[in-house]
Amino acid sequence: MATLAAFAVPAVVYIACASSEPGSWDTAELQGVPYVLGISHPTGFPFYTLLGYVWSHGIPLDSVAWRMNAMSGIAIGLTCAAACGIAFEFGAGITVALLASLWFAFSPNIWAHAVRAEAQDLALACEAIALYAFVRWLRGGGDAWFAAAFALCGLGMAAHPNALWILPALIVGAAIAPRRPARALCARSGALLAAALMLYAYLPLRSAYVVVHHLDPAAQLPRAAGGIFWNYNDPHTLRGLRLELTGSESETPKYLLASFNPAHFGTAAWTFFTTIRAEYDLGALLLVAIGFGVAWRRNWRVALVVGIACTAGLLFSVVYPNESDVGRYRMLASWLAVPLLGALTPQSRRGRALVWSGLLIVFLAVGASMSLERQRGFFDRVAGEGGRWIIGAVRPYVAPGNVVVTGWLDATSLAYGAYVDRSLAGRIVVSDDKLDMPLYRQWARQRLVFVVVDPRDVDALDGAIDVAALDRWHELYEVTP
């Protein structure tokens, strides 16, 4: 029942906080791409897209944006349940495990990501359940737990590649386990992981379908094929597939290799402590450190596997500079606090141990309650929030058949309106931060083209007429042929 509560309570809270309006930036994209069965920015997140397609069409409630936000809430709820389950494996009492899970659920970084569409949320759920399965196997469970761990790792990587950081922990765990997994089991588990990764075949197959059936509106414009939502990077081509899978446009492979430089290990370790301190408090940080020692004494193999799995990804988070929301790469690190706090549950039910158990329960209850109180702002939702305003601001000026060009932050909101809820039906949305005016002037020979820019960055656009100030950060221009 505690595990069920650890899932249900956060999930209900997150769903109650979920916005019905499209967001902006990556959020709006991940709200809309699954619904149209499109292709997201690298690495495409095929498992998230395919599951999101089923979810967004199978749950006929509220808006598409709300449905995808709610799916993230369910994913983080499952993550909390897995944390509670592993806490039990470390010897946690029922109340301690539940309260520690709720504190994690109500921590600021986790709550912020749980109420918006986010591929990392689904990956996190897969990682957490994979670790639970592997711990069950380490502690004597059947071979099915071992195979499930690797299958879930593969699904996590197909949701977001950041899940690959738990793979070294699973391999280390298999090597140090008291009972070595049979070769046949390793082969089956590896095959399951590979099968999950085959979901990436969705990218070239769907891209080819989009091209053949002319589904991408941006393909009507010269040199604009591979438009957002529908066919990012055009991965039915070898070049496009390489760009989509590697994220080489943002030099991701370079920084992935840099993650293995031992010079960054100290920074990653410090980041773990600062993450726990920020998400919980100083007292919790001290208890987490003590909890690791207790967990190590009880079962050093389990402690080592879970510790590596939850902290290895910090290496990438501290070296990758092209990320404005680094917190989503550190959610598993704060998740580790739950089983380590759970490990502090005394094994004895007498005397001082009983007093300590009571104090621990009070500490966790106060921490979870205070965190819940501090994050109450997530319940405040207003009509027209998020990216809805830019949709409404652009609509009177950009008629169906026209093109609107703007940066990624707002282009995804506009694309949601154009391709998902049809509040901007018929408009062609292009995301471009480079302002290629000669190209836009070429497009303007066939149809009206508008550009939305930040007036603080651009005083005037060569070959464009200033149409309107949408607000002090958005100026609308019409491009002349």
In a shared domain, residues 371 and 416: no
Q: Is residue 230 a part of any domain in this protein? A: no
pLDDT digit string, tens, across residues 255-304: 888 888 898 899 999 999 999 999 999 999 999 999 999 999 999 999 99
Q: Is residue 175 a part of any domain in this protein? A: yes
pLDDT digit string, tens, across residues 226-246: 899 999 999 999 999 999 999
For 39, phi then psi, to 5°, come to -135, 125
Confidence label for 463 from pLDDT (cuts 50, 70 and 90): confident
Q: Which domain holds residue 364?
A: 2-200+254-377
Tokens 């008629």 -> residue: 399
What's the token pair of residue 457? 């960055």
44, 242 contact by CB (below 8 A):
no
Q: Which residue has the higher pLDDT, 264 or 124?
A: 124
Tell me the whole-structure pTM to 2 decimals: 0.94
Which of these ranges, 10-24, 48-62, 350-364, 384-398, has the smallest mean pLDDT?
Answer: 350-364
Burial of 112 (0-12, 13-18, 19+ CB in 10 A): middle
Tokens 């066919």 -> residue: 231
Domain boundary among 354, 377, 400: 377
What's the token pair of residue 362? 């009070």
Output the pLDDT for position 348: 66
Nearest Cα residue to 26 out of 50, 51, 48: 48
Collapsing DSSP to helix, strand or coil, 1 comes out as: coil
Share of the chain above pLDDT 70, in %: 100
Q: What is the CA radius of gyration of the chain?
A: 24
In a shared domain, residues 405 and 343: no
In a shared domain, residues 193 and 82: yes
Q: Is residue 248 a part of any domain in this protein? A: no
In a shared domain, residues 159 and 130: yes
235, 46 contact by CB (below 8 A):
no
Q: Is residue 190 a part of any domain in this protein? A: yes
- What distance lies between CA 375 and its chain's CA centroid? 20
Output the pLDDT for position 430: 96
For 103, phi then psi, to 5°, come to -65, -45
Question: Residue 141 and residue 157: Cα distance in Å, rounded?
Answer: 24
Q: Is residue 226 a part of any domain in this protein? A: no
Collapsing DSSP to helix, strand or coil, 453 comes out as: strand
pLDDT digit string, tens, across residues 444-458: 999 999 999 998 888
Output the pLDDT for position 259: 86
In a shared domain, residues 161 and 309: yes
Q: Is residue 233 a part of any domain in this protein? A: no
Output the pLDDT for position 433: 87
Domain count, the chain: 2
Q: Is residue 222 a part of any domain in this protein? A: no
Q: What length does the chain have?
A: 481
Other residues' Cβ atoms within 10 Å of the Cβ of residue 350:
8
In a shared domain, residues 369 and 398: no
In a shared domain, residues 32 and 181: yes
56, 154 contact by CB (below 8 A):
no
Q: Is residue 249 a part of any domain in this protein? A: no
In a shared domain, residues 154 and 282: yes
In a shared domain, residues 330 and 461: no
Omega before 43 within 30 of 0, i.e. cis:
yes
pLDDT digit string, tens, across residues 82-106: 999 999 999 989 999 999 999 999 9
Strand partners, 101: none
Share of the chain above pLDDT 90, in %: 83
Helices (H), 321-426: 331-335, 337-342, 351-374, 388-394, 408-419
In a shared domain, residues 6 and 121: yes
**Per-residue CA distances from 109 to 105, 114, 377 (Å):** 9, 9, 13
Nearest Cα residue to 65 out of 109, 43, 35, 45: 35
In a shared domain, residues 308 and 457: no
In a shared domain, residues 154 and 273: yes
Statement: residue 385 has pLDDT above 90? no
By DSSP bridging, strand 403-406 and strand 449-453 are parallel
Domain boundary among 344, 377, 410: 377
Domain boundary among 377, 398, 416: 377
Helices (H), 90-201: 94-105, 108-114, 119-138, 143-159, 167-176, 183-197
